[in-house]
Structure 1
Amino acid sequence: MSDQKLHLVIGGRVSDPQHLEFTDLKAMDFVGVFPDYASAEEAWRSAARRTIDDAEMKYVVVHLHRLLQPDMLKR
């Protein structure tokens, strides 16, 4: 079993900056998939900084490895 921990960085316009309900899924910004949290966080920071003045834009890091291999959480 692989110990690779993939992370996805995505962003888009949200209906409420306090929540994660994206308003237009077709217009999502898929920043990329990264092999570790550190590189995903760096990409997230870069994307978030580009839209810092737009309160309705939100970027997130999704822990893909937790979805693909939920048994990793038990370790």
Structure 2
Amino acid sequence: MSQTSSSSDSKPQLLHLVFGGELETLEGHEFRNLEGLDIVGIYPDYQSAYAAWKNAAQRSVDNAMMRYFIVHLHRLLEPNGMKPSQPATSAT
């Protein structure tokens, strides 16, 4: 799961969180036990997050109430799709 990226990488770092737990109902997104959530990990790109999600989902295939999700953390960190703004500088 742990990958480091160097400054020479051409791919941007797009963080993704993979987690899951037992749902209250099949139609909702409410979890039965928040303390029992399975935090699979944080991944540097969608492809590795998808592989982790698939692995976790396959482990719980016998439990219909268990669901795993991929959260696009990079969209939460940069909701406008832009890089964080540079610190303001004053011109004199």
Q: Which residue of 2 aligns with 1:31?
A: 40
Q: Which residue of 2 aligns with 1:10?
A: 19
Q: TM-score, normalised by structure 2?
A: 0.73
Q: 2:70 pairs with 58, 61, 68, which one?
A: 61
Instruction: Pick 1 or 2: higher relative contact order, CA cutoff 8 A, min separation 6.
Output: 1
Offset at residue 19 of structure 1 (A): 2.0
Query: Which structure carries more helix by proportion?
Result: 1
Unmatched 5+ stretches in structure 1: none
Structure with the greater alpha carbon radius of gyration: 2
Aligned length: 71
Q: Which residue of 2 aligns with 1:49?
A: 58
Query: Which structure carries more strand by proportion?
Result: 1
Task: Point out 4+ residue stretches in structure 1 off by more than 4 angstroms.
Answer: none
RMSD value, Cα: 1.2
State the identity as a percent: 49
Unmatched 5+ stretches in structure 2: 1-11, 83-92
Q: TM-score, normalised by structure 1?
A: 0.88
